[in-house]
Amino acid sequence: MSPQYLVFGNLTREFLLPASGSPRLDALGGSLLYAGAGTRVWVGESDVGLVGRVGDDYPRAWLNEVKGRGFDTEGVRILPQNLDVREFLSYSESFEPTPANPVAQFARRELTIPKSLFGYQPLEERGGRESGRLVVTDIPEEYLSARAALLCPMDLSTQNQLMAGLKRGNIHTLLLAPSSVDMNPGAKRTLPVFLSGVTALLLSQEELRNLFWGETHDLWEMAEAVALYGCEYVVIKCGAQGQLLYAAGAKKKYEIPAYPASLADLTGAGDAFNGGFLAGYCKNYDPLEAMFHGSVSASLKVEGSGAFYPLDVLPGLAEARLNVVKGLARDV
C-alpha cells in the first residue's frame, strides 16, 4: 500500500554535543527523520513516506535502519556522488544551541574534534547546496495518492515547487514549516502567493517575530496577518512555554502548554511536533487534536537523543500523555 502521510526534509550526519552526557558523533539525523518519527508515533508501519536526498557516501546501514523502523523510503533518492550532509550542534548547560564553530565547542569541553568534522561549514554557507535540493521529480508517482504532506524547513523556492507538484495528486492537507533563513520582513512580499492552499503554517515565535521585525510585538496580531495570506491555521511554537494556535476561519486563539517532560536533548523537538501535528490533524481534521498530538511527540523527543527515541518509549505512554495535554488547552 502507498503511504498516507508524506514528509519532505533533510537526512544528515549528525554531530551533537548535548547539554550533558556523551557526544553523539556522526549519527543518523535530519529534519526528515525527526518529523517522520513524530508522525510514526501515531500511525502504522509503511504509513509514512519519506522524501529526501543523500549522496552515495551515505551509510547504507542507516538507510536500512530507517526502512526497518517502518518507514516507506521509496522517496529517498541516492545521488551518484558524494554529498556533504554533516550537521553540527552544541548545547550549553542551559540548552542554548550553537550551530557553528565546532573546533571551539569541542575545545571548550576539552574534547578532541573528530577528523570527520574537519572543514565543516553550516549548510547555508556550504558549496554544492544545489545538488541536495529536492525537486518535483523526487516525488514517487505512488506518493501522490497520500492524504497529507509535511514540508520540513528548506528554502521557499524549493517548497513552492514541491507544493505545486503535490497538487497534481490527491493530497488536500499541506503543512509547511519554513526555513528560519527565509523568515524576514522581505518574505511578506512572496508569502501571499506562497501560502495559498496551505492548511497550516508551523513556525517558531522567533521566526514569526523576525518576519514582522520592527512592526509589532504581539504574536496574535502577527498570526492574524499571516492567516490573511491564505493558510487556514497558524501554529506558533514557543519552546518551554508550549504552543499557540490561530484558526483563521473561526478567528479563534488557543494556548497549549508544553507537557512537563524531562529535558535531555532538544534536537529535533520542533520537527517532532510538526510530525505529530500531521498525524493528529488527519484523524478528524481538528486543529486542536493536531496540536495535542504534536505536543506529545515533542515531549517524547526531548527526553532522549536520536530521531527514533520517541519510537522506543514504553507502550501506551504517548496515549497517556495525550489525555493529559487535552486538559491543558485553553481559549484566549
Q: Does residue 158 fall inside a structural domain?
A: yes
In a 13 Å sphere around the CA of 82, the CA atoms on its Cβ side amount to: 3
Q: Which pLDDT does position 126 carry in this prediction?
A: 65
In a 13 Å sphere around the CA of 138, the CA atoms on its Cβ side amount to: 26
Among the listed residues 230, 287, 282, the one whose alpha carbon sits nearest the alpha carbon of residue 254: 287
- The whole-number average pLDDT for the span 160-189 is 93
Answer whether 131's CB lies under 8 Å from 158's CB: no
Q: Which pLDDT does position 129 carry in this prediction?
A: 62
Query: pLDDT, tens digit, for every residue of 142-159?
Result: 999 999 999 999 999 999
Q: Which pLDDT does position 72 carry in this prediction?
A: 98
Mean of per-residue pLDDT scores for the chain: 95
Q: Does residue 93 fall inside a structural domain?
A: no
Q: Which pLDDT does position 24 carry in this prediction?
A: 95
Answer whether 37's CB lies under 8 Å from 13's CB: no
Cell representation of residue 189: 512580499
Report how far Cα 224 is from the mean position of its chain's Cα atoms.
23
Q: Does residue 122 fall inside a structural domain?
A: no
Instruction: Give the relative orientation of helices 287-301 and 317-326 as an angle to the nearest 10 degrees.
Output: 130
Residue 215 domain boundaries: 5-13+32-82+131-331
Query: pLDDT, tens digit, for every residue of 18-67?
Result: 998 899 999 999 999 999 999 999 999 999 999 999 999 999 999 999 99
Give how many domains the chain has, as a whole number: 1
Residue 128 has pLDDT above 70, yes or no: no
Residue 127 has pLDDT above 60, yes or no: no
Rg (CA), the chain: 19
Question: Which residue has cell 507544493?
Answer: 163
Q: Does residue 27 fall inside a structural domain?
A: no
**Does the pTM of the predicted model rise above 0.95?**
yes
Distance, in Å, from the CA atom of 66 to the CA atom of 37, rounded to the nearest integer, reads 10
- The whole-number average pLDDT for the span 64-87 is 96
Query: pLDDT, tens digit, for every residue of 270-320?
Result: 999 999 999 999 999 999 999 999 999 999 999 999 999 999 999 999 999
Q: What percent of the chain has pLDDT over 90?
A: 89
- The whole-number average pLDDT for the span 190-219 is 94
Q: Which pLDDT does position 273 carry in this prediction?
A: 98
Q: Does residue 322 fall inside a structural domain?
A: yes
Q: Does residue 94 fall inside a structural domain?
A: no
Q: Does residue 265 fall inside a structural domain?
A: yes
Instruction: DSSP letter for 43, please.
Output: S
Q: Which pLDDT does position 121 carry in this prediction?
A: 87
Distance, in Å, from the CA atom of 155 to the CA atom of 194, rounded to the nearest integer, reads 12
> What CATH number is attached to the domain comprising 155?
3.40.1190.20
62 vs 188, more confident: 62
Distance, in Å, from the CA atom of 160 to the CA atom of 215, rounded to the nearest integer, reads 26
Distance, in Å, from the CA atom of 308 to the CA atom of 318, rounded to the nearest integer, reads 14
Q: Which pLDDT does position 122 carry in this prediction?
A: 84
- The whole-number average pLDDT for the span 230-244 is 96
Q: Does residue 20 fall inside a structural domain?
A: no
Report how far Cα 31 is from the mean position of its chain's Cα atoms.
5
